[in-house]
Amino acid sequence: MGPHSAAEAGKVQPSYKGALNGATLTLAFQTLGIIYSDIGTSPLYTLNGLWPATGPVPSKEDVIGGVSAIIWALTLLPLCKYVFICLRFGTVEGEGGTFALFQGLYPPEQEYSDADSLIGSSSDEKESIADAEVHNVPRSTISPKYRWPLFVWCIFGTALTLADGIFTPAVSVTSAVSGIAIPKPSVANDVIPISCVLLLVLFLAQFRGTSQLGFLFAPVTFIWMILLAVTGIINIVKFPGIFRAFDPSRAILLFVRTRDYDILAGVLLALTGCEAMFASLGHFNMLAIQLSFTLFVYPSIVLAYLGQGARLIVDGADVLPNLFYTTIPGSNGGPLYWIMFVFGILATFIASQTLITASFSLCQQLMKMHVLPPFRIVHTSSTVRGQIYIPAVNWLLMIITIIVVATFKNSTKLSNAYGFSVATVMFSTTILIAIQMQYVKHLPVYITLAFFLVFGFLDGLFWGAALKKVPEGAFVPLIIGTILVTFMVFWSWAKGLEDAFDSNHRSDLQNVIIREQLERTVGEGQVPEVGYADAEDDGASEHEKYYVCDPEDHVVSQILPSRELLQLARLPTCAVFHRTTSGKGVPHSFAAFIRQWPALPRVIIFVSTHVMSISHVHPEDRYTLRKVPAVRGFYTVIYRIGYREKFDVDVNGFIDQICNLEAREDPQNSAATIAEIRAAAKRVTHIAPHYVVSSRAFGSSRIMRGLSWLRTVLIEDIYRRLSTMFPETAGWLGGADEIIHVGVNAAI
């Protein structure tokens, strides 16, 4: 395959808006089980978040005002903000979420020259990957000086999204299981142990993936929403006056009358999961999400809250202990009750499963962008892209979730902790969308200000209410988020230093090896011509020898007689050298390899991996292969992957492209060369550098010595150990026996 222009790849833009047809309606149905399982289970615990079971029964006007606050919060934030505004801010491939917004502001500025040339004399014409990715898309004009503050803010929101993977199972499952204590009060003390067992089963089953059960998610959530709507309508009949909650003044009067700012923390629970609509944009399309939420999910959950409010006004203290289960029409323990209980358990399991799966996908994105260590990834489906399982993340989530449930033992405190994560992520999205409006979409300033003032004010109100709950349980996600952010910033900083060392300390190929031409007869007393061939020479001669340049003085090496240089044997094998950063020159692994094992494989492929700021790369644009001038059997490959994709180097595909390239260059005489290449490709070894990092000292003053000591601890005692435990190739390749790690000392 010849080189593909990355700009050409950007000409075909995928449509994420969608058209109203059968495929869109099918997608709209499928969204039910993936996107709305979290917000759809909020009626299990929201009203008890406003009025705890142990508190006084609220007055009729307070109930109407509280339900009004919930309805208008759902209308202004999930419906107006996310469905009709945020969904329009997907990336070029339609990806959503806070991390995708940051990628839009600061695309990876990776430049490569002549396919990451190995020879310094190559053309210096550069092509920017970032330019190609946003072909025909407005470029970001935001100043680079804001990169780190926005990066830290973005990953703080991302860290709290990961915390949702802890609190969604904890809150949802515990709230659903509590329903068993209504008809069976004797098991009330067993709710927490039962919840812990169910959570344990949920996390232990993750290794099997969700492909076998995924087809049930949408139907179960569909039935659950229908049940919410039906029970809500039946309950509304008890007190039709609850429809006065659609008057927004009722919500305002509630806060004026009670002066209770904490009510917003309870209202916030109704909004859990709204971020999933934007984050899941890449899996569906804008129209499908808009249809499913506006026409089905929104009415169903609004009817559920209206019905619960009506029953609270009519029955008061009889239903306050558990406002979801005690307001189910019919008798406690009746057929409808147990139907709701079973589907409540299933819905919370689906909500928990989708958040856990989202945590895996998010961690994969963070690993690709060098923000987290490269944990081992297991692909659980051979047909569904994105079905992954990360053991280390799964066990960590399981342990923390069970500890949280067992420690809190109180659904109210769990809800307080949950709300803080939700509010912070919502506020983070609003800030990044406003910046996108100004610096990427280039909308008028008054539109940006209007969006930020309206939704920033609303998000700020909820965030402030959640912040007040820090002493009452919200400190847990705050601590988790702070720890995760600190670690991710540390890893990004240390990995950036290592990558900078790799990029700045490469060697030109002609400074590593030289070639001796033996094409003409050498007279007695003469020395064969030794030197590096010109770039125009294709290096196709079979009469040649290779030598290792003296690393201390490569200029002298080029003129020394060949008998004084270390000769390299040419072996009938294939070696793939991985370059972890872009730029000119051969990687450290190649130079160190030939000096430790003086041999050159017959086929050498230098692979440069570029993680794009788009989720998926079209197969035709994935590889760019070129032949290295002057050295027979050397090739370079640019390997492009989206940040959601698995690193999977197809060596057989490389060999096919190499053979096609040789056949095109010399149709008549290439048969023998192709046969050699095919034979060498039967034995393939992947070679990657392993950096043994050390910290450079700074200054001699007491302060600088202290900083140097701290830097040494971070780099040598923490980062070095973790990078050894989690090698980057663990997520790239198959068996360890296929990889040679070449050690390189790196002072960073």
pLDDT 10s digits, 696-742: 877 677 888 888 889 999 999 999 988 888 877 665 554 555 678 78
Report how far residue 417's alpha carbon sits from residue 412's, in angstroms, rounded to the nearest whole number. 9
Q: What is the pLDDT, as a whole number, of residue 270?
A: 93
Q: How distant, in Å, are the alpha carbons of 55, 269, 397, 406, 416 from that of 410?
A: 14, 15, 20, 9, 10
Q: What is the pLDDT, as a whole number, of residue 118?
A: 61
Is the predicted pLDDT of residue 598 greater than 90, yes or no?
no
Q: What is the pLDDT, as a whole number, of residue 537?
A: 42
CATH classification (class only), 47-113+144-491: mainly alpha
The average pLDDT across 354-358 equals 81
Judged by average pLDDT, the poorest of 191-200, 307-316, 411-420 is: 411-420
Any idea what the Cα angle at residue 401 is, between residues 399 and 406, rounded to 5°? 95
> pTM of this prediction?
0.78
Judged by average pLDDT, the poorest of 161-165, 386-390, 408-412, 640-644 is: 408-412
Q: What is the pLDDT, as a whole number, of residue 582?
A: 67
Report how far residue 372's alpha carbon sits from residue 360's, in angstroms, rounded to the nearest whole number. 12
- For residue 186, what are the contacts with CB-CB under 8 A and spacing of at least 6? none
Report how far residue 284's alpha carbon sits from residue 27's, in angstroms, rounded to the nearest whole number. 6
Is the predicted pLDDT of residue 209 greater than 60, yes or no?
yes
Q: Which residue has the tokens 């692994």?
A: 589
Among 3-12, 199-208, 280-289, name the most confident range: 199-208
Quote the DSSP letter at residue 144.
G
The average pLDDT across 541-562 equals 58
Report how far residue 727's alpha carbon sits from residue 377's, in angstroms, rounded to the nearest whole number. 12
In contact, 91 and 614? CB cutoff 8 Å: yes
The letter for the amino acid at 165 is G
Report how far residue 742's alpha carbon sits from residue 748's, in angstroms, rounded to the nearest whole number. 18
In contact, 539 and 631? CB cutoff 8 Å: yes
Residue range 517-544, pLDDT digits in tens? 554 444 444 444 444 444 344 444 455 7
Q: Which residue has the tokens 């509280």?
A: 66
Judged by average pLDDT, the poorest of 100-109, 293-302, 684-693 is: 100-109
Is the predicted pLDDT of residue 516 greater than 80, yes or no?
no
Pair of tokens at residue 107: 């695309």
Mean pLDDT of the chain: 80
> 110-115: long-range contacts at Cβ-Cβ below 8 A with a sequence spacing of 24 or more?
110/582, 110/610, 111/582, 112/582, 112/583, 112/608, 112/610, 112/638, 113/584, 114/626, 115/3, 115/608, 115/624, 115/626, 115/636, 115/637, 115/638
643 pLDDT tier (thresholds 50, 70, 90):
low
The letter for the amino acid at 285 is N
Say whether 579 sits in a helix, a strand or coil.
strand
Using only C-alpha atoms, the chain has a radius of gyration, in whole angstroms, of 31
383 vs 41, which has greater pLDDT? 41
Q: What is the pLDDT, as a whole number, of residue 421?
A: 82
- For residue 669, what are the contacts with CB-CB under 8 A and spacing of at least 6? none
Q: What is the pLDDT, as a whole number, of residue 319?
A: 92
The letter for the amino acid at 199 is L
Judged by average pLDDT, the poorest of 108-122, 155-169, 341-355, 437-451 is: 108-122
Sign of CA dihedral 395, 398, 400, 406: negative
> 522-531: long-range contacts at Cβ-Cβ below 8 A with a sequence spacing of 24 or more?
527/561, 527/562, 528/562, 530/558, 530/559, 530/560, 530/561, 530/562, 530/565, 531/558
Task: Indicate left, alpha or beta for 316 from its phi (over 0: left) and psi (-120 to 50: alpha).
Answer: left
Q: What is the pLDDT, as a whole number, of residue 523?
A: 46
Any idea what the Cα angle at residue 493 is, between residues 489 and 496, rounded to 5°? 135
Residue range 608-617, pLDDT digits in tens? 877 776 667 7
Q: What is the pLDDT, as a whole number, of residue 468?
A: 85
Q: What is the pLDDT, as a whole number, of residue 2?
A: 39
The average pLDDT across 569-589 equals 80
Is the predicted pLDDT of residue 211 greater than 70, yes or no?
no
In contact, 635 and 663? CB cutoff 8 Å: no
Q: What is the pLDDT, as a whole number, of residue 729?
A: 67
567 vs 209, which has greater pLDDT? 567
Pairing assessment for the beta strands 530-531 and 126-128 based on DSSP bridges: unpaired
Residue range 71-96, pLDDT digits in tens? 999 999 999 999 999 988 876 666 77
Q: What is the pLDDT, as a whole number, of residue 737?
A: 56
Q: What is the pLDDT, as a whole number, of residue 385?
A: 53
Which residue ranges does the chain devote to CATH 1.20.1740.10? 47-113+144-491
128 pLDDT tier (thresholds 50, 70, 90):
very low
Report how far residue 433's alpha carbon sits from residue 150's, in angstroms, rounded to the nearest whole number. 12
Report how far residue 69's alpha carbon sits from residue 711's, in angstroms, rounded to the nearest whole number. 50
Backbone angles phi, psi at 569, to 5 degrees: -80, 145
